[in-house]
Amino acid sequence: MPIKQESSPHLSSQCSSDTQDTIVAISTPNIAVSGGANRGAGSVLGGGIAIVRLSGTQALKIASLIAVPVKNNTLNTNSKNPSNQIINQKANQKTNQESSKDKNQIPTQNPSATQAQNTNFTQHQAKSKIDFIDLSPRHATLCNVYDKEGILLDEAIIIYYKSPHSYTCEDVIEVHCHASDIIAQKVLQSCLHYGARLARGGEFTKRAFLNGRIDLSQANAIAQMIATKDAYLQSALISQLKGSLGDFVREVREVLYFALASAEVMIDYSEEDIPSELISDIRTKLESLRVRLAKIYDFSTTRAKIGNAWKLAIIGKPNVGKSSLLNAILLQERAITSNIAGTTRDRIEEEIIIDGSIVRLIDTAGIRTSTDMIESKGIQLSLQALQEANIVLAIFDSSRPLDSEDTQVLDALSKNKKDKKILAIFNKSDCKNVLKNQDIKRIENLCDESLSISALDVEHTAHTLQEKLKEIIAKSNLNGEVILSASYQLESLKTSIANLDLALQRLDTSELELFAYHIKDTLESIGQITSPYTNEEMLDKMFSQFCLGK
């Protein structure tokens, strides 16, 4: 049955979940789930802390079975878990009393995740009392952490988030241990032994969504925020997590409700009695809204194509200075340069960061007609890079007249200029410019902007191009406006624009009942940006794209 999830800006005092089990996962991405051939055992992977996260009704109970607070901040050198010993003594006493009953025998190992769920805390089902660990909510407690045999694993910080004041709206335990594969895995295995289930990808966030702590747009923002490497998108997604997308939808709905209320009032009046100023006001508001929605849609779809990195292709005829330009931007010799045409035959890629945005530079083989099989393959790769690029640097030699190879470059640009920013780069500005004015105008008409540089002046060239790239990237951003990153959000916005167009058409012909009908459709489709109609299959697909532990 479809679920309509409404946005919940305030945390409810009582949370519920369809799932009653307790889940666990390593929540730090730089700690691998299993060892790798190229890593040493127990190696530290990029940080000092690994976090093992538990969520569910048994989280505190499991923490009580694997950890004991350190008294006076002194590491307990006893290799056995004292609470485990007490529990085992109580379990043994109970077992001796009922030795005739085989069902009370204590298994030494949890055979599987399924059995773990059916036999949670089998070791302690002899009615023995478990002394819950003394953890103050939202306080860090230094603890000794033990494995299922009671062997000391690590000295760790444990933080308890009591329901509903946690990420999932359930009881949450975080074990902050040292960043070792071995330690993190053993803590995880200890939790699994005592009844936790290994969390699926995105299951913590899914529980937060199902418990009403976040809406689906915020859940999507979390996934994108973790995945993105772009500083601008990161900032926009943080705003979205804080509810900017919900604010945007409310603003749009206010305009639509005004139009709908006005239309329903006007339906009861004859056409002669309808104030023309009101019709004009409605049209102005809706047309302005339509422009805004289209701008957001175009920008969001463009950013979706860019992904985590802008693609910048450097193209031109052979021996025009493409590789020299790449080296100048990178301030290092990445590509081999020579005065022999056709030196670059393969596609060379490097990444730089411009104002927090990753730009992938692609140096390509010179575009020309070639009978050499290897060079021809390189030229095909050049044309492919041109098609994929968001930004194109088209290089021309200003010290030589335009020739047939330059014309081939211009033809390629003409066929692939859609959705691209093209910069004409006139290289060799240190030499006399012999290009004809008509050729310069032809190039500039095809490109968005032009620059004159000398690849020999490395520092100046690097500074000039990087400043231009900063400008291009800055202009491409919709500062202060929302970004839609999920496919369902883009589809909802596209439908909203189409419905709004139909409404405007009916307004122009004074068909107010049909106008009101299309406005209602627009209200419904715009609302699905933050509160779509979902089913379990859609939710599973969405949250499975999250990283494990989130």
Binding site for Mg(2+): residue ranges? Answer: 323, 344
Rounded CA gap, 455 and 443, in Å? 20
What stretch of H or E contains 476?
helix 458-476
Q: Which residues participate in the annotated binding site?
A: 53, 174, 213, 319-324, 338-344, 363-366, 550
Separation between Cα atoms, residue 492 and residue 530, nearest integer Å? 10
Q: What torsion, rounded to 10 degrees, do the Cα atoms 209, 210, 211, 216 define?
A: 30
Cβ atoms of residues 160 and 64 within 8 Å: no
Tokens 């020299």 -> residue: 324
User: Residues at the annotated binding site for GTP?
Assistant: 319-324, 338-344, 363-366
Which residues carry a binding-site annotation for K(+)?
Answer: 319, 338, 340, 343
Angle at 330 between CA 324 and CA 333, to 5 degrees: 55
* HEC sequence for 6-66: CCCCCCCCCCCCCCCCCEEEECCCCCCCCCCCCCCCCCCCCCCEEEEEEECCCHHHHHHHH
Q: Sign of dihedral through CA atoms 137, 139, 143, 149?
A: positive
Q: Which residue has the tokens 């995945």?
A: 227
Q: Which residues pair with 351 in a beta bridge?
A: 360
Binding positions for (6S)-5-formyl-5,6,7,8-tetrahydrofolate are 53, 174, 213, 550
Parallel, antiparallel or unpaired: strands 421-427 and 391-397: parallel
- Expressed in angstroms, the distance from the first to the final Cα of the chain is 26
Conformational region of residue 56, where left means phi above 0, alpha means psi within -120 to 50, and beta covers everything else: left
- CA dist 50 and 44 (Å) reads 9
Q: Which string of b and e fits 241-278 if b means at least 16 CB within 10 Å?
A: bebbbbebbeebeebbeebbebbeebeeeeeeebeeee
